[in-house]
């Protein structure tokens, strides 16, 4: 059974679900920082997924990246799966803007996280809803 | 016409070519750090490639990551496209080991690069050859 890693539970808000992945928002208001987590147990590397699941992950990743780039007018999308700390496979999809807190460095470990207000998270939920992402089901807001 | 970005030219060694991507080795002996660059001009984001090319990029990326993990006995593969500094689309495929110079942090900007000797690069060329990657053509060694 799929259970979200405890560190990810702590550091993110669940926005909803695609066919394969749960969509999370990192609790760091420095950047619009999204994370896709395939809802498969015991998966750490991309290639631990079967071929169809890998294809689905790429599709969900790309669809999200395209839509976020347009919505935010991003200068660059950063797409990465690292997993050195949290081994559960997760794909970062991060909106980067010239002049953001870490620019042009990668975001990890660069700047202390800045908290979101509940209202700010609501605004992001609305923005994601407006993206009308294919196959996306919004999570109930349990905040 | 595809021309490799000047910064990538400076910081990497060309190992060879797949159908879509050039395979580079980062000149940083801290980690076995490989980079795939789609040989398409004017491409910065994953989704600037057409659907078939995206699929090919994922295939070349995944094949490489699987083979490198096994060959090096990696603890984790890091797969990422950032492009905040070099806008030409490039995919990092990095072999990570517990206790490597940056572990568990991401590699970017963490430790000064350590030079390879010519002999060390030869050893890596041989290792890559031994992976027998599908569709891979080794570059002539022009060093």
Question: Would the CB atoms of B80 and A85 count as touching at under 8 Å?
Answer: no
pLDDT of residue A143: 53
**What is the number of CB-based contacts under 8 A between chain A and chain B?**
86
Beta strand pairing status for A33-38 and A91-96? antiparallel
| Distance from chain centroid for Cα B76 | 15
B-chain residue closest to A68, CA distance: B47
What does residue B70 show for φ and ψ, rounded to 5 degrees? Answer: -70, -45
Residue ranges of alpha helices (H) inside chain A are 6-11, 51-72, 118-130
pLDDT of residue A140: 84
Q: Average model confidence (pLDDT) for chain B?
A: 97
Rounded-to-integer distance, Cα A141 and Cα A25, Å: 13
Rounded-to-integer distance, Cα A112 and Cα A14, Å: 21
Residues of chain A with Cβ-Cβ distance to B69 below 8 Å are: 45, 47
Residues of chain A with Cβ-Cβ distance to B79 below 8 Å are: 46, 80-81
Residue A5 has a CB neighbour count (10 Å cut-off) of 17
Whether the bond between A104 and the residue before it is cis, its omega within 30 degrees of 0, is: yes
Rounded-to-integer distance, Cα B90 and Cα A73, Å: 21
Nearest to B84 among A76, A85, A108 (CB): A76
Q: Which residues of A21-38 are buried (b: 16+ CB within 10 A; e: fewer)?
A: bbbbbbebbbbbbbbbbb
Nearest to B79 among A55, A81, A96 (CB): A81
Tell me the shortest Cα–Cα distance from A16 to chain B, in angstroms. 23
Rounded-to-integer distance, Cα B49 and Cα A73, Å: 19
pLDDT of residue A30: 98
Q: What is the ipTM of this complex?
A: 0.96
Per-residue pLDDT of chain A (143 residues; tens, 9 = 90+): 999 999 999 999 999 999 999 999 999 999 999 999 999 999 999 999 999 999 999 999 999 999 999 999 999 999 999 999 999 999 999 999 999 999 999 999 999 999 999 999 999 999 999 999 999 999 986 65
Domain annotation for chain B: domains and CATH numbers = 6-142 (3.30.428.10)
Residue B109 has a CB neighbour count (10 Å cut-off) of 16
């Amino acid at each position: 059974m799929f259970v979200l890693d405890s560190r990810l539970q702590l550091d993110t808000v669940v926005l909803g679900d695609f066919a394969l992945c749960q969509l999370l928002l990192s609790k760091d208001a420095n950047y619009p920082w999204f994370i896709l987590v395939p809802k498969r147990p015991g998966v750490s590397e991309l290639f631990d997924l079967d071929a169809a699941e890998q294809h689905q992950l790429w599709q969900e990743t790309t669809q999200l990246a395209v839509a976020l780039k347009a919505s935010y007018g991003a200068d660059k999308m950063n797409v990465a799966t690292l997993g050195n700390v949290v081994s559960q496979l997760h794909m970062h999809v991060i909106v980067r803007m010239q002049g953001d807190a870490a620019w042009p460095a990668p975001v990890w470990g660069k700047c202390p996280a800045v908290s979101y207000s509940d209202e700010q998270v609501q605004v992001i939920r609305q923005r994601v809803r407006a993206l009308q992402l294919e196959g996306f089901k919004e999570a109930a807001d349990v905040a």
